[in-house]
Structures are given as C-alpha cells and as structure tokens.
Chain A
Amino acid sequence: MESFDVLGSGVIIMGLPFFLSGTVGLLRFPDIYTRLHALTKADNVGLGMIILGLILQAGSWAVVAKLFFIWILVLIASSASCHLVARRALQKRIQPWSRK
C-alpha cells in the first residue's frame, strides 16, 4: 500500500504543471478560441492525472468508481461547454485572432 501512495503522489504532482499551463494559456493566448484550447486540453490532462493519482491511493473500490465517474462527467461537461462557448463566439462573429 505504501508504494502505491508514493506512486499516487508522484502522478498527482505530475498533473499540476498541466493545470498551471491551462491558466498560463488563459492569460497569454490572444483570443477566446485559443484560450479554450489551453483550458480544455491542459485541464483535462491535469484532472486525469490527479484522478489517477487519487485512484492509486484510494482505499476501496467504491472510491475508485466514484473518482472514475467524476472524471468521465467532467470530461463530457468540459468538452460540451467548450464547444458551446466557441459556437456562441462564432455566432456573435468574433473573428479568430490570426498572425499578420
């Protein structure tokens, strides 16, 4: 059990830079579309690794199942809301930022 705890902590720590890059992208990227790229992708991987780390540390199958469902539900919600935000932006004729 001890080694799973250490491994889990390692995976959780590896997930943190992804969350950080999502936030850095939100601040640095030029427009709404590119910011959505940063948020959805980086946060999904970050959350995935934190969930995986917590699963390694989980004491029971009930907790494993709960964490797994949380990950799936967040994945669906973030992908769908990302699509909705982008679609609304395009409907409002917000032009994507482009070079030159």
Chain B
Amino acid sequence: MTESSSNLLYRRLAISSPRVVVRVLVLSILWVVLSGNDVKSWIVGAPAVLLAVCWSFILAPASYWPLSFGGACRFIPFFLGKSFHSGIDVMRRTFSPVMPVNPGLVDYATFLPDGPPRILFANTISLLPGTLSVDLQGNVVIIHTIDKNQPIWTNIHNLEWHVAALFGVHPGGQK
C-alpha cells in the first residue's frame, strides 16, 4: 500500500467509524455462515474480514444509500423473473439449429445517480434477457444486445424504474 492510499484509508475510516462497525459485522456474519461456525477458522477469517473492510473503504468511500422496503419487494421478484426469462432466452438461441443472433452495441443514458444505483443498474442489465452491460461512461451505459430486432428498451426502462424505486431516487433529481 502506498503512503497516499494509507492516508486516504485512515481518513475514510476515521470519518465513518459507525460504518466500519457495520461492515465488520456484516462480513463477520458472512464468514460465520460460510465457514460453518468453526472457531479455528477465524485464523484465516479475522485477517480476511479486516482486509476486506479496509479494502472496501479504499474502493468505495462510505456513502449512505437507504434501501426502500417497498422498492425491494418489487425489485426482487422482477429480478428473479427476468433472470429466469433470460436463461430460457439464451437456451433457445444456443440450441436452435439456425442460431438466431443479430448482435450489436447500443448506448443508453440513465437518470440514475452515480454510486450504488448506477452500479446495480449496470450489473443487472447483464442479467436481463438479451442485454449485457459493456461499459459505463458517466451516465451512459454501453449495452451489447444479442438481437437488435428484440425490443430491449421496455426491459431497460423497467429495470431503471425498479432500481430507482429500490434506492428511493426520482427521475431528474438526486433523491
């Protein structure tokens, strides 16, 4: 770790101590669940949790994005349904003898603010039927579509709306 990044880390940890506790707790619970509550596993687990917390503050400074419960209740079924549909869609294309693909790149400008909402949006695009997020430049997502004839915009708009509802963001304004 260079001098500047350790200074940066120290500053970020100092101004956000409650969130340090939260992240340590969350990652520790994750470790307990995955390692099956073996006390000796903490020989590896404790350093791993601490490293992960430090690293997470270097990569993602503490930003607070409360999730809306109602938004989550709509987002999760939407997400599960769409990802299942996209698996079926890919299966249909791979097993079809003529292999119906007609790929291309398209751009989409999103109103979602920088940070977790935009990242979640870009990541879940890849799990919608027929679309894959290739790059994120400012508020523009570059999307690879497997079939240019397929109406992808409805799905993308829908997803954007669901992510906005999840984070309680409204179009046009920052929260």
Contact = CB atoms under 8 A, between A and B. Distances in A.
B34 A41 contact: no
Given A33-B144, A80-B123, A96-B144, A42 B90 contact: yes
B30 interface: yes
B103 A65 contact: no
Interface residues of B, number: 36
Between A22, A44, A89, the greatest number of chain B beta carbons within 10 A of the residue's beta carbon is seen for: A44
B94 interface: yes
A44 to B, nearest CB: 6
B25 interface: no
Nearest to A26: B94
Nearest to A99: B102
Question: Size band of the A side of the interface?
Answer: 35 or more
Interface string B24-57: 0000001001101100000000000000000000
Nearest to B133: A83
Interface of B: 30, 33-34, 36-37, 83-84, 86-91, 93-95, 99, 101-105, 122-124, 126-127, 129-130, 132-135, 142, 144, 146
Closest A-B pairs by Cβ, 6 of them: A45-B87, A25-B94, A21-B91, A86-B134, A79-B123, A41-B86
